[in-house]
Chains A and B, each alone.
Chain A
Amino acid sequence: MSSVLYDVPGPKARRISLIGSIIGVIVIGGLLVLAVMTLAQQGIFDPKRWAVFQIPDVWVLIGNGIGATLAAAAVAAVIAFPLGLLLCLMRISGNAWIRVPTRIVLEFLRGMPVVLMMLFVLLVFATSSFVAVVAGLVLYNSAIFAEIIRAGVQSLPKGQREAGLAIGLTSFQSRLTIELPQAIRRMLPSLVAQLVVLLKDTSLGYIVAYGELLRAVQVMADFLGPQYLFPVFFVAAAIYIAIDLAVSRLAIWLERRGSKRAAGGVAHVPVAGIPAAK
């Protein structure tokens, strides 16, 4: 990929890049050392602060936080996917009375911050914060799923639909049995990538007082004292990043596998019109 931009380096260029690498490592390493030293001055690496992780209850709280995060994400994903399919079908329907209102609703849902939808559900329907988080995630992500699947349907060769209609399927049957399965398969990497977004957005639950991982960190810091904030926060952030990285890897793996196997391949770059990953 990157070799597009420059020739295979010769001895001189290799020497220059090596020197560049060494300088780069020194500069970046220096900045890191500086950061670590500043942290050390604040007493971050005092073993007493990290001893907090010897308390079993701390892990219970972290575990509860992870559980709450994953529960909200799982429930939201399970509801949002079929809803997204339905919205997609309505969005590409031949009937303008269905298509146009769906389009307006989708534009509306995609244009609003997720946290605003969570707050709306929480205050207007006086639900629990779990329901508010899930509802906010479902509303937003089903709209995004619908757009991703729509992009998949539109990327199919025209003949797929024509052949379906020619053998006497109704428009709806053709969508359901011929186009959607292919579209979903093509867009699988994008759909999984969107799951990362959904997972990350559960942390917005912090704002509506849902007891997810970040909220657990704050509760612990309030309870144990602010000096423990950094260690607990650091561990929580690492957990979040580890979970999200794992799902991201899955999306990349699916993409590689898909582009090898599927005849038409899978979509590589999210089609514009789908908001970029949050």
Chain B
Amino acid sequence: MDVIIENLPQYWDGFLRTLFLSVVSGIIALVFGTVLAAARVSPVAALRGFSMVYVEIVRNTPLTIAFFFAAVVLPRLGITFQQFEVAAIIALSAYTSAFIAEAVRSGVNSVPVGQAEAARSIGMKFSQVLSLIILPQALRTVIPPLINILIALVKNSSVAGAFYVLELFGYGKQLANANGDAVVWVLIGVAFFYLLITIPLGYLANVVERKVAIAR
């Protein structure tokens, strides 16, 4: 137990870094994922094709491969980063956006047909139907799955720790090496800080789920 209290500054630093990685990649992934989902349902065949290929490939790529590519392969190709955080954010947001795109797309499909038909019948264009009628309703139903994707993102950010970013997992490894006799406590401390983010988010997803279920 002492080992956690003694190293609280590191834990706190790692916790903030994990939060930072998750929030920044989460925002980028939300924006990019929604754009991908919009492309996937658009009338333009090339955009549909591109979005489908991107989502299928990225969803079936292990996250570690994405990290390896961003942190190890890219620098060898001449694309170097001042900080490894940038590589981590690129890997995490590229990966997460594919899952967000799928979730938003299934949300779009869950909106009743009549909504789009009504919007079209009063003369709205595709872009208006999508942005004013469909997406606002779709986002409501996809909020619980989106929160679950964000929970996965928080947990996935731990992979950054293995690629030179000192976030929670990275500090955990470092502290475990330094305190060979208290490894159990070191790692329980790390787990505690992850649960501090993931369990409340999971609770939030359940609450939102219940609210939406009543509304529909």
Contact = CB atoms under 8 A, between A and B. Distances in A.
Main secondary structure of the interface of B (DSSP, over half): helix
B7 interface: no
Given A244-B61, A273-B205, A5 B134 contact: yes
B111 to A, nearest CB: 8
Contacts, number: 196
Contact of A200 (B42, B46, B63, B68): B63
Contact of B62 (A9, A20, A22, A201): A201
A120 B187 contact: yes
- Interface size class of chain B, counting residues whose CB lies under 8 Å from the partner chain: 35 or more
- Interface size class of chain A, counting residues whose CB lies under 8 Å from the partner chain: 35 or more
Contact of B44 (A5, A21, A196): A21
Contact of A7 (B45, B57, B120, B209): B120
B91 to A, nearest CB: 13
A249 to B, nearest CB: 10
Interface in A1-38: 1-2, 4-7, 9, 13, 17, 20-25, 28, 38
Interface of B: 40-48, 50, 56-57, 59-65, 68-69, 72-73, 76-78, 99, 103, 106, 108-109, 111, 113, 116, 120, 126, 129-130, 134, 144-145, 148-149, 151-152, 155-156, 158-159, 161-162, 169, 172-173, 176, 183-184, 187, 190-191, 194-195, 198-199, 202, 205-206, 209
17 contacts: A5-B130, A6-B126, A9-B43, A20-B43, A107-B202, A111-B195, A119-B173, A202-B62, A204-B62, A218-B72, A229-B73, A241-B60, A248-B59, A269-B145, A273-B144, A275-B148, A276-B151
Interface of A: 1-2, 4-7, 9, 13, 17, 20-25, 28, 38-39, 41-42, 44, 107-108, 110-116, 119-120, 123-124, 196, 200-204, 206-207, 214, 217-218, 226, 229-230, 233, 236-237, 240-241, 244-245, 248, 269-270, 272-278
